[in-house]
Amino acid sequence: MVKTKDDTPLGPTGRPYHGFPTPPALIGHGPARIIALCNQKGGVGKTTTTINLAASLADYGRKVLAVDFDPQGALSAGLAIPTHDVPTIYELLIDSRRDPHTAIVPTAVENLDVIPANIDLSAAEVQLVSEVARESILSGVLRKLAPDYDVILIDCQPSLGLLTVNALTASHGVVVPLECEFFALRGVALLIETIDKVRDRLNPSLTLDGLLATMYDARTLHSREVLERVVEAFGDDVLETVIGRTVKFPDASVSGVPITEFAPGHAAAQAYRRLARELVARGAVA
Ligand code: ADP
Ligand code: MG
């Protein structure tokens, strides 16, 4: 590991490596800070990050709700939550009189609940277009749940359509996972532009909580170069925590549990717990 002059090790982002302190226990719970995990590119680690960040925060005693907001239902599947013949986020969007508590499912992880999604959600994109205040419908749903949680994470679908705009309108912050691969930055400008527009027109307090480098492979020059370019472009908005590439993630997904439970000692589990501590240290989570 490279070190600074005073012997502090440097992390992969080129800044001094902080371990971040264990978050202090909370005395009470809620209201939740709501964070969207967002990138219109698929396969960058949104769902993996939502699951493992949620589980890590829950391990630190935070009450966490993870909202599956992708019609593919990968978050639900990754936590072994049934998505058929159960109320999903779709029903909550379509029927504003419905109590959103009825769609909440507890997971095997203490303090972690989920609202599932399935393919029905793809119809909402079309159905909501003619609604009054169509961008704020998810916000209305989550407002009723916020008092019960410390943090609500929204796993967005890979698009910048109306559902994603709903997620950004409902959120206090956004975390953008970026795969350390060629073209990682392609599309990020458009995403930032969308975030700026939502802030201007719909949600003035929306903040960029950080960009998270994922699937980083320290052994390849390529990964290091991509990360360097991301840091050049976004500076301190790049989170210090970097998620390494490992086959443990596909394995954990298949088993339907977070990697923090599947292989708690694995470097990737440690990385997600560190991400949770970093977000608490940054004030993005209570
Ligand atoms: P998204 O939600 O952005 O589409 P996913 O979280 O579903 O991305 O990740 C895409 C695929 O990459 C999944 O098969 C997942 O298991 C795998 N994956 C995610 N993070 C990593 C990682 N750090 N190392 C290796 N594979 C990963
Ligand atoms: Mg996903």
- Write the pLDDT tens digit of every residue in 191-223: 999 999 999 999 999 999 999 999 999 999 999
Q: What is the mean pLDDT of residues 266-280?
A: 96
Enumerate residues 6+ apart whose C-beta is below 8 A from 182: 222, 226
Query: Is the confidence at residue 1, as pLDDT, over 60?
Result: no
Instruction: List, as ranges, residues with CB under 5 A of the ion ligand 2.
Output: 46-47, 74
Query: Is the confidence at residue 120, as pLDDT, over 80?
Result: yes
Tell whether ligand 1 has an atom less than 6 A from the beta carbon of residue 75: no
Do 151 and 142 touch, CB atoms closer than 8 A? no
Tell whether ligand 1 has an atom less than 6 A from the beta carbon of residue 230: no
* Strand order from edge to edge, sheet including 151-156: 105-106, 112-115, 64-69, 151-156, 33-37, 173-179, 207-216, 238-244
Q: What is the pLDDT of residue 134?
A: 97
Tell whether ligand 1 has an atom less than 6 A from the beta carbon of residue 42: yes
Q: What is the mean pLDDT of residues 5-11?
A: 75
Q: How far apart are the first and last CA of the chain?
A: 31
- Considering every ligand atom shown, identify the ligand nearest to the alpha carbon of residue 72 and give its number: 2
CATH fit for domain 33-282, picks 1.20.1250.20, 3.40.50.300, 3.40.30.10, 3.10.20.30: 3.40.50.300
59 in helix, strand or coil? helix
pLDDT band at 184 (very low <50, low <70, confident <90, very high): confident
pLDDT band at 231 (very low <50, low <70, confident <90, very high): very high
For 66, the token pair is 């993870």
Helices 162-170 + 188-201 axis angle, to 10: 60
pLDDT tens for residues 139-157? 999 999 999 999 999 999 9
- Give the side-chain half-sphere CA count within 13 A for 274: 19
Tell whether ligand 1 has an atom less than 6 A from the beta carbon of residue 45: yes
Probe residue for ligand 1, chosen from 51, 241, 249, 254 as the CB with the greatest number of ligand atoms within 8 Å: 249
pLDDT band at 90 (very low <50, low <70, confident <90, very high): very high
pLDDT tens for residues 22-52? 999 999 999 999 999 999 999 999 999 999 9
Query: Is the confidence at residue 6, as pLDDT, over 70?
Result: no
Tell whether ligand 1 has an atom less than 6 A from the beta carbon of residue 184: no
Q: What is the mean pLDDT of residues 77-103?
A: 96
Rounded to the nearest integer, the mean pLDDT of the chain is: 94
| Closest ligand 1 atom to Cα of 41 | 3
How many CB atoms are located within 10 Å of the residue 2 CB? Answer: 9
For 1, the token pair is 């590991």
**Distance of alpha carbon 171 from alpha carbon 138, whole angstroms:** 9
For a pLDDT cut of 70, what percent of the chain falls above it? 98
- Could you tell me the distance, in angstroms and rounded to a whole number, from the CA of residue 257 to the centre of ligand 2? 15
Q: What is the pLDDT of residue 3?
A: 61
Length of the chain: 286
List the alpha helices (DSSP H) in 46-182: 46-59, 74-78, 89-94, 121-127, 137-143, 162-170
